[in-house]
Structure 1
Amino acid sequence: MYLVWVREPGHLHAYLTRVQASTLTFPEIISKLPQIGVRGLYRGSIPAILGQFSSHGLRTGIFEASRLLLVNVAPNLPDIQVQSIASFCSTFLGTAVRIPCEVLKQRLQAGLFDNVGEAIVGTWNQDGLKGFFRGTGATLFREVPFYVAGMGLYAESKKLAQHLLERELEPWETIAVGALSGGLAAVVTTPFDVMKTRMMTAPGGRPLSMSMVAISIVRHEGLLGLFKGAVPRFFWIAPLGAMNFAGYELARKAMERNEEQKAMSSG
């Protein structure tokens, strides 16, 4: 079973992009929100939606195929390893096809262009085709650990909570564990999210690597600069983690009941 992380292309993500793309302090960014306006906070929604639709469909298919292959090839592998390896394969390939949409979204949210058409033409004129794949490495370094760590954190946190309470978790407790797991995975991967944003919103025409961006951030903003936007990122991802893991548990239990009914009917 595949866990899909739904990411809404709303105002909080646009605000997060502006925080990470800027070298301004948090209070300075807050003071500029009235100038950005409501419309500005929803910039980049079209490429964000297109990117999510394309990547989630591919990711789901790759996850299921990888999981079935692993179960047949290595039946003794623990379930958490099967989930993690399948998540790695599906996230790696699914994210790769979303990069161009992510670049356009980031540049629109950072205020570099006014609309999608202008962003496409401007990106092409600056860097050609490779401009649509800026920040690919940083995005993959963010996405793969995020999905794998999120699933692993949830599975282990749930086991720990059940061990401490010595019972099955209540629905609200499962939601709380899911929110915490998603939020923590988001915080841990924030440095790669910051680097990805800086690379995608940097001026075109010159090569830019992850190491160059990381060194520049640390030199001018300190180590905490790599965790810029970690707090809004936590509060943006945590509710989504709660909803996704709650849905995951409902789907898992429904599948288990279905299997039990089949076993009883066949017996």
Structure 2
Amino acid sequence: MSFNNTNTDILIAGAFAAFTVDFLVYPLDTIKTRIQSPDYRRLYTTNGAVNRSLFRGLYQGIGSVVLATLPSSGAFFTTYESTKTFLHTINPSLPSSPTTPLIPLPILHAAASSTAELVSCFILTPAEVLKQNAQMVVRGSSSSSTTHAFDGAATRQAFNKFRNNPSQLWRGYTALVARNLPFTAMQFPLFEFLRTEIYGLRERRGSRSSTLLETGMVTAISAGSAGTLAAVATTPIDVVKTRIMLAAAGHDGEGQREKVIKEMLAQGKDAKSEIEKAQRAARGGRAGGLAVGKEILRSEGVKGLFRGGALRGAWTALGSGLYLGVYESGRRFLEKRRVGDEDTRYNT
């Protein structure tokens, strides 16, 4: 794809797209986190049916994500461009063909984007840990989906758990990287293929317009479809990531479990199963991704590893479609506005 954007254009378009997606699809992400939580059935179901608490405080923790959006996006694009330039500079040409690079450009671009993802995830991990622990803060029955959404109370409550050990905010970095890298590797090649095919079909039908609306719609459909497949495929990694990040602080569910155990013991009931769950949760706070995955598989089976997969697929379809659709339209709008040529046509 050829375009004539400045770094500022790209950063503004990326930040606006990320903010739009964060705000619109955040409630779905909150529900997904709660479904993937080990305490889902105890905290959010009653007699096997979902209770209202699952849908309360759906914007809890959004502040940490919004604050991390701009620096993480800036770090990603800055790292990507600088790494790509460096790799191009040191990449020699084939002796038999001076114009042909020794290492194919797609490999260099993949290496640059992977490096950028590692840096971006380092910035995002604390926000993700705070976000997911804030999403699990249980509100009273009078709370609605927007009550306490933007007052930061849930985020502060989650952050207080890390005051004595702030390094735990980076717990789950490896799991986040392990999820994002294969997700990106699956999504973007399929996204580029679908977009090219859709544009080609419209070209053959004579309906290609190259307008901002067409750009946004084609990009959104392609990205949403590719994102859904990648999201479902990487759901087991996402479940493990969620468990590790929640265990990093020992979210509210653990405190409530201790209360349940004490009540059962006081009533002379057998609390062995609850004690075993608490012990496994404590081990999960220290275990690595592989150990957590094995524990989920042992206690919940394959179904446990794909918990929330359908919702994550729907959320990613909407999120990826909006993100790349808004980003691409915004990037081209800024270019057109800066160049001042309303008749500019773009190559894709």
Output the TM-score relative to the length of structure 1.
Answer: 0.79
Give the Cα–Cα distance (whole angstroms) in 2 for the partners of residues 254 and 112 of structure 1: 43
Give the greater-gyration-radius structure (CA): 2
Kindly state the Cα deviation for residue 56 of structure 1 after the two structures are TM-superposed: 1.3
Any stretches of 5+ residues in structure 1 without a counterpart? 259-267
Corresponding position of 1:8: 22
Corresponding residue SS for 1:124: coil
For 1:262, the equivalent position in structure 2 comes to: none
Equivalent pair of 1:20/1:194 in contact (CA under 8 Å): yes
Map 1:111-260; keep pairs closer than 5 Å. 111=137, 115-125=154-164, 128-159=165-196, 167=204, 171=214, 172-202=217-247, 203=250, 207-247=286-326, 249-250=328-329, 251=331
Report how many aligned residue pairs link the two structures: 255
1:60 corresponds, among 77, 81, 84, to 77
2:57 aligned with 1:43: no
SS in 1 for 2:130: helix
Report 1 or 2 for greater relative contact order, CA contacts < 8 Å, sequence distance ≥ 6: 2
More helix by share: 1
Q: Which amino acid aligns with 1:13?
A: D
Counting aligned pairs with the same residue, the percent is 26
Q: What is the alpha-carbon distance in structure 1 between the residues aligned to residue 240 and residue 313 of structure 2? A: 17
Show the counterpart of 2:112.
Answer: 86
TM-superposed CA distance for 1:211, in Å, is 1.4
Alignment pair present for 1:19 and 2:56? no
CA distance in 2, matches of 1:94, 1:43: 22
- Which among 100, 123, 129 is matched to residue 103 of structure 1? 129
2: CA distance, partners of 1:253 / 1:66: 27
Residues 34-60 of structure 1, C-alpha deviations (whole Å, 9 max, x = no match): 12454x111111112122222112112
| C-alpha RMSD of the superposition | 3.5
Structure 1 Cα separation of the partners of residues 79 and 58 of structure 2 = 33
TM-score, normalising length: structure 2: 0.62
The offset of 1:176, in angstroms, is 1.8
Q: Which runs of 5+ in 2 are unaligned?
A: 92-99, 140-152, 209-213, 251-281, 340-348
Deviation, 1:86, is 2.1
| Residue pair 1:84, 1:151 contacting (<8 A) in 2 also | no
Q: 2: CA distance between counterparts of 1:31 and 1:66?
A: 51
